[in-house]
A and B are shown apart, each in its own frame.
Chain A
């Protein structure tokens, strides 16, 4: 049975997403328990999957029994199984959170709401496992379509952001599809393993180079790498509070993983186009993204937007890490990706809670949180530590290995970019924490505002659990960084590194 694990992991959210609308016709209130059950089954299966992969090595799943170049193949290797844990555990936590932060204006749309979230999770699973360029496109589209609908599900202002997201996201998908078409026209195959045998010899062909550029641009829009990030802050800010953790933590990271697959498993780590190493170009793109993202975060005044730009900056850091061309950097990059996924989920949980319970939207509102909620303040401090990169959080070890990898590759520009981005991150966290811990007397206007505001409520247990779990996970990731990095350096390492 263990050889069917990848498809079972994929089917549990997908089938539930299909069944939900039928069940929801009679029992609308069942949709949430069903969705939770699906995601917990998925989490258990991914844990088993990791164990099986560690014991038996890479699994290749061929659909319909057609062998690889003809049929569709899924690759369940070290990297995919590790990332599946990330996807399923975070989906589980976000699903728990989604129940409590469920938008109240949904009404009858609560059934499609859960069905769409499950579809999004299924699509992310597909992208992680897929060993086929076109299959990645299909799942990118499934995930993106669910995401557009989820962003706009509350109606009102969110619809505009959803529409903008739709236009840019569709542009990204189209560019990706164009790239796939170019590669297919030249090589006649879509399977990644098959492509890997042909593409490296064809790197002088303009069609292949153009195709690869289109693939990167398409995925670049999806992962919001800096010049292509315009859709992200609006979409995350106006999305329902329960939805933005899913989008922020998983969808951009999974697009990045799709690119890592193409870069290392198809193009090859040592690929050069006209004597320029491809990885070097990516690293420069990453450096620019890391610094510019952090600068933009510093200029924002809305809490969710700060976190969104922080995420954009972190995508740059991860891209630096995976593009360094050595095992240390790659392990650091992927570790930072996992850490950042947890972190972004945590940040948007918090921003959602702060907004729903205390009406905190902008930076100046943050002081309202002070004093009433040790849970929130504590979580905020943990997240600040992780984002800036203090030990013992996961953020520290991720950045540490990225810098070690950059030094190993003698790439001092990247080291500089990581350090500058870190300092800028520290700067915008100081702005937030200053308002939480600031002990000065509030001005008269604020006292009035505080007096007239409703008395602060304590958090419900479930929110405490979700916020507490992710904060604990951030520290736990740091403490268990050694085995994870070891796993990444030995089992999940791409060919050619």
Chain B
């Protein structure tokens, strides 16, 4: 398990910096359609903020187990991405052709906007979860996994 870092300076700075990082990550994610950024970069920043909070505030046994169970769903982001693509297929267009998303009452431009945003959110979730799970798998030895033979 990872223990909290016992220092007032690190605690205080962490409390200030981590929300700012997360906000910036979200900004990069949503800004990705108009400029540099997007799901991958946004996801990395979000993931890093979580990693930083684990390093600063620590992770005890029980919540560590909870986190590693949640990480089983690390494909969910990819599922969102592929799901959006699949919806386009069902709508009659090519895979990931957002113009064919079946959203009633939306013009083509808004459909594309929504489609790209959803797909990017999927990418961001996947990247963030993966980066956290790399850190956890290095730090946490999970004996529960192997004992269930």
Contact = CB atoms under 8 A, between A and B. Distances in A.
B73 A63 contact: no
A408 to B, nearest CB: 42
A21 B146 contact: no
A21 B94 contact: no
A7 B86 CA distance: 10
B146 A107 contact: yes
B145 interface: yes
Contact of A22 (B73, B146, B147): B73
Contact of B89 (A7, A19, A20, A25): A7
Contacts of A64: 94-98
Contacts of A62: 94
Most chain A CB within a 10 A radius of its CB, from B75, B99, B100: B75
A109 interface: yes
B69 A25 contact: yes
Given A21-B74, A24-B72, A65 B145 contact: no
Contacts of B100: 65
Contact of A19 (B75, B98, B147): B75
A107 B95 contact: no
Contacts of A22: 72-73, 75-76, 79
Most chain A CB within a 10 A radius of its CB, from B99, B145, B147: B145
Contacts of A185: none
B75 A21 contact: yes
A108 interface: yes
A107 B144 CA distance: 10
Interface in A1-25: 4, 7-8, 11, 14-15, 17-22, 24-25
B82 interface: yes
A4 B78 CA distance: 20
A15 B86 CA distance: 10
B149 interface: yes
Nearest to B81: A18
Contacts of A7: 89, 94-95
A109 B72 CA distance: 12
A232 to B, nearest CB: 28
A49 B92 CA distance: 18
Interface in B28-82: 69, 72-76, 78-79, 82
Nearest to B73: A22
Contacts of B74: 21
Nearest to A155: B146
Contacts of A63: 94-97
Interface string B130-149: 00000000000000111111
A19 B76 CA distance: 8
Given A18-B75, A22-B76, A11 B82 contact: yes
Contacts of B76: 22
A20 B78 CA distance: 12
B95 to A, nearest CB: 5
A65 B146 contact: no
Contact of A107 (B69, B73, B85, B148): B148
A20 B73 CA distance: 9
Interface string B93-116: 111111110000000000000000
Contact of B145 (A8, A61, A107): A107
Contacts of A11: 82, 85-86, 95
Contact of A65 (B97, B144, B148): B97
A18 B76 CA distance: 7
Nearest to B76: A22
Nearest to B142: A108
A107 B147 CA distance: 7
A465 B142 CA distance: 38
A25 B148 CA distance: 12
Given A7-B95, A65-B97, A108 B82 contact: no
A142 to B, nearest CB: 12
A154 to B, nearest CB: 12
A65 B93 contact: yes
Interface in A370-417: none
Contacts of B147: 107
Interface in A129-171: none
A61 B72 contact: no
A135 to B, nearest CB: 13
Contacts of B73: 21-22, 25
A7 B99 CA distance: 18
A103 to B, nearest CB: 11
A107 B97 CA distance: 41
Contacts of B93: 65
Contacts of B144: 108
Interface of A: 4, 7-8, 11, 14-15, 17-22, 24-25, 28, 61-65, 107-109
Interface of B: 69, 72-76, 78-79, 82, 85-86, 89, 93-100, 144-149
Nearest 3 CB-CB pairings of A with B: A65-B97, A18-B75, A108-B145
Given A19-B79, A107-B148, 17 more contacts: A11-B82, A18-B75, A18-B78, A18-B82, A20-B75, A21-B72, A22-B79, A25-B73, A28-B148, A61-B95, A63-B97, A64-B94, A64-B96, A64-B98, A65-B93, A108-B146, A108-B148
15 contacts: A4-B89, A7-B95, A11-B82, A25-B73, A62-B94, A63-B95, A63-B97, A64-B94, A64-B95, A64-B97, A65-B97, A65-B100, A107-B146, A108-B144, A109-B146
